[in-house]
Amino acid sequence: MRLFSAAVTAMALTLGATSAMAAPIEIKFSHVVAENTPKGQMATKFAKLVAERLPGKVEVKVFPSSQLFGDNKVLEAMLLGDVQMAAPALSKFQKYTDSLQLFDLPFLFKDMAAVERFQSGPVGQEMLTSLESKGLVGLGYLHNGMKQLSASNPIKVPADVSGKKFRIMTSDVLQAQFEAVDAVPLKKPFSEVFTLLQTKAIDGQENTWSNIYSKKFYEVQPYITESNHGVLDYMVVTSAEFWNSLDDDVRAELKKALDESIAYGNKIAAQKAEDDKQAIIDSKRSEVIEMSPAERAQWVTAMKPVWKQFAGAIGQDLIDAAEASNQ
C-alpha cells in the first residue's frame, strides 16, 4: 500500500513537472493593422525571435487586423490579463494620460527624423513611463509615419474641407485640429474606416501611406493630399502586473527581442512610406496631390492655435522639447 502511494506520488510529481515544462508563458499581441505594415511586421518578427530564443518558455501569438481587440478595448483587456502586449497609436492613450496627446499636435514635427530624435531623447524616454500609475508599462516607441489627408474631393487649402466629415482616432487634439478648419471630425475605430469611406458615410480621413495602402482606403478615396501634417506612431505596451511577474532573465530576453523587432519595424516604416505611396500612384485609383508652400502655410496658420488650446493638459515644457527636436 505504502509502495503504491509512493509510486502515485512520484507519478504525480513527474506529471506536474512535465505539465509545468509543457506550458510556456503565452503573450497575446493584439493589433489593428494588416500584417504587411510596420506594426504587423514588427509583431511577427518579435514572435519569431522569441520562438528562437525562449523556446518552450514563452510563446508570442500575434492577432492582427482587430481580430482579438480593437484599440478602444485593448488596454482595458490588458489590465484584465486577457492580452499581454499591444502597440496602439499614441493618439489612443487619452483615457490614461494627457501627455501623449503631444504627438497629435498638428505640424509639431517636421519629419520622422525629428520624431525619432525626440522619442529617443531624455524627454521622449521619460514619457514611456507616463502610463505607470495606470498599471501599464511603455516598452518602446514604434514608427509608422507622417499622416496624409484622403478625401472624396481634391484638398489643397483649408476651405476645401469645410463642412466635410473626417474620421479621426479617439483624440480630442485631432478633433480640435479638424474643427480648426471647419471640418466635422468623427471618432471611429480603425476597423470601420473602409466601410465608412466606401458607403460615403464620411468624406475623408487622415492616415499614413502604409495604412491607406494596406487597408485599401485609396480604392474608395479618389484624392490623397500629401500633407504630412502630423505623425502616427505607436507605443508598445504591456501591463505592469504581467511584466513584473516574469523572471528577470526572461524579461531581459523579451526586452532585447522587442528592441530588435522595433528597430526592424522602424526600418520597414521608412521604406513602406515610400513604396506604398508609389504603389498608390501606380494603381491610378487615387490622385496624389501636393501642396505648395503657400497652401501649406494656410493649414499651419489655421491649425496651430490647437497647440495653445492643449498646452495646459499636455505641458508647455513637452511641446518646447518636441519643437526643439526639429533643429
Contact call for residue 66 and ligand LMR (CB under 6 A)? no
Q: How many alpha carbons fall within 13 Å on the CB side of residue 276?
A: 28
Q: Which residues of 51-85 are buried (b: 16+ CB within 10 A; e: fewer)?
A: eeebeebbbbebbbbbebbbbbebbebbbeeebbb
Q: With binding defined as CB under 6 A, does residue 212 bind ligand LMR?
A: no
Near ligand LMR in 188-207, by CB under 6 A: 190, 207
Residue 169 or 180: the one with the smaller Cβ distance to ligand LMR is: 169
3-state SS assignment for residue 255: helix
* In the complex, least distance from residue 207 CB atom to ligand LMR, rounded to whole angstroms: 5
Pull the grid cell for residue 13: 510529481
Q: Could you please report the per-residue DSSP string of 158-218?
A: GGGGTT-EEEE-S-HHHHHHHHTTT-EEEE--GGGHHHHHHTTSSSEEEE-HHHHHHTTGG
For ligand LMR, the closer CB: 169 or 258? 169
29 sits in which H/E element: strand 25-30
Annotate each residue in 264-303 with x if it binds ligand LMR (CB under 6 A) or - if it does not, as one string: ----------------------------------------
Provide the β-strand partners of residue 141: 235
Tell whether residue 144 is a contact of ligand LMR (CB under 6 A): yes
CB of 155 to ligand LMR, least distance (A): 18
75 binds ligand LMR (CB under 6 A): no
Can residue 94 be called a binding residue for ligand LMR (CB under 6 A)?
no
Considering only residues 12 to 41 of the shown chain, the ones binding ligand LMR according to CB under 6 A are: 32-33
Residues that bind ligand LMR (CB under 6 A): 32-33, 89, 144, 169, 190, 207, 211, 232
